[in-house]
């Protein structure tokens, strides 16, 4: 059913195909690859070398050790968008077999919500995520890093070494495919480590492909995957107060899943195009339970390849029997509940 916020909202109707072909959307999503490689090249190589000295060999702590552990189970893939605030408190009550895989940016927010995250994932080579582990939270930086004990981190081999030093729980490493043979060769000289996880340039993509390609979860349920700014309150790109949001700079206007006009960055619009290409090309079931944002949305409607749902309805889809539990355990008492 629709969520009642300040107004009653419901999803756009579905369209059978997006207005641009998957190939054109993919080309647009990848248009910044060359600039990204040029900017991060030396940082990637430096971080990988240091991390190998500190934690290597990577293969002994690789994501391959987790292969197939969640085959057939659905997974919630949690981004850091502003709509996360609408659903975070519900995550601790998710169906028992439903995994929760989150971008590390959300650590403080989801730990405060007692969401019981199964895996945190990081991709950034810069230090930004170190600050975001605690930024906007209710506890100190030291308290949040202490809370990483017992948690599992899925980390790119080029992650900032200071972040890995601070993490007190388990770490499993992966490599990222880079469209540059020279860099790939230099990385292989440090250690031949070919446990790759695709990303589309953002950590949410890594979360999704970790779930699909390694854990074996082919039903992927997105939350916090807005790829746009909030338009229901102050302009923000996160579910908490973030320095990242203080100056939004140049932005574009696009349509969200309800048909409203919202703001986003061109880079994040390209990220959403990447996920739409994946939904059209890679077998799986893709559900957007973000309850906001632009994933799957176009001017004429939402693409049919990504099902738009409210998180409560997703929970019912996987555990509707919970509504009948009292009748099952106490058949002599009438509670009047029916499913339709």
The four Cα atoms 233, 239, 242, 245 give a dihedral, to 10 degrees, of -50
CA 95 to chain CA centroid, Å, is 19
Length of the chain: 340
Question: DSSP label at 211?
Answer: I
pLDDT in tens, 154-178: 999 999 999 999 999 999 999 998 8
pLDDT in tens, 21-73: 888 878 787 776 788 888 888 999 999 999 999 999 999 999 999 999 999 99
Other CB atoms within 10 Å distance of the CB of residue 216: 16
Domain boundaries, the chain: 14-314
Alpha-helical segments (H) within 167-218: 181-190, 203-210
pLDDT score at 262: 92
Among residues 140, 150, 172, which one has the least CA distance to residue 159? 172
Q: Evaluate whether 243 touches 130 at the Cβ level (below 8 Å).
A: no
Q: Is the pLDDT of residue 101 over 80?
A: yes
């Amino acid at each position: 059913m629709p969520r009642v916020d300040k107004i009653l909202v419901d999803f756009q109707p579905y369209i059978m195909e997006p207005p641009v072909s998957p190939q054109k959307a993919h080309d647009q999503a990848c248009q910044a690859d060359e600039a990204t490689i040029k900017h991060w090249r030396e940082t990637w190589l430096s971080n990988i070398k240091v991390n190998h000295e500190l934690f290597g060999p990577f293969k002994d702590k690789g994501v391959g050790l987790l292969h197939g552990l969640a085959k057939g189970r659905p997974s919630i893939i949690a981004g850091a968008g502003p709509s996360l605030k609408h659903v975070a408190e519900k995550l601790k009550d998710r169906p028992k077999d439903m995994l929760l895989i989150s971008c590390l940016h959300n650590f403080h927010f989801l730990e405060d919500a007692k969401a019981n995250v199964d895996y945190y994932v990081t991709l950034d080579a810069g230090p930004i995520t170190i600050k975001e582990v605690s930024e906007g939270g209710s506890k100190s930086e030291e308290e949040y890093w202490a809370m990483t004990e017992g948690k599992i981190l899925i980390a790119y081999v080029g992650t900032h070494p200071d972040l890995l030093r601070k993490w007190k729980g388990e770490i499993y490493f992966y490599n990222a495919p880079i469209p540059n043979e020279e860099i790939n060769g230099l990385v292989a000289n440090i250690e031949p480590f070919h446990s790759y996880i695709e990303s589309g340039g953002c950590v949410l993509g890594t979360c999704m492909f970790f779930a699909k390609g390694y854990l074996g979860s082919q039903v992927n349920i997105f939350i916090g995957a807005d790829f746009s700014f909030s338009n229901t309150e102050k302009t923000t790109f996160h579910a908490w107060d973030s320095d990242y949001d203080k100056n939004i700079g140049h932005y574009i206007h696009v349509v969200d899943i309800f048909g409203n006009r919202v703001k986003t960055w061109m880079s994040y619009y390209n990220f959403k195009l990447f996920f739409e290409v994946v939904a059209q090309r890679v077998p799986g079931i893709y559900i957007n339970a973000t309850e906001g944002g632009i994933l799957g949305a176009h001017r004429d409607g939402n693409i049919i390849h990504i099902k738009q749902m409210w998180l409560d309805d997703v929970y019912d889809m996987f555990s509707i029997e919970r509504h009948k539990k009292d009748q099952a355990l106490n058949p002599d008492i009438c509670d009047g509940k029916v499913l339709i």
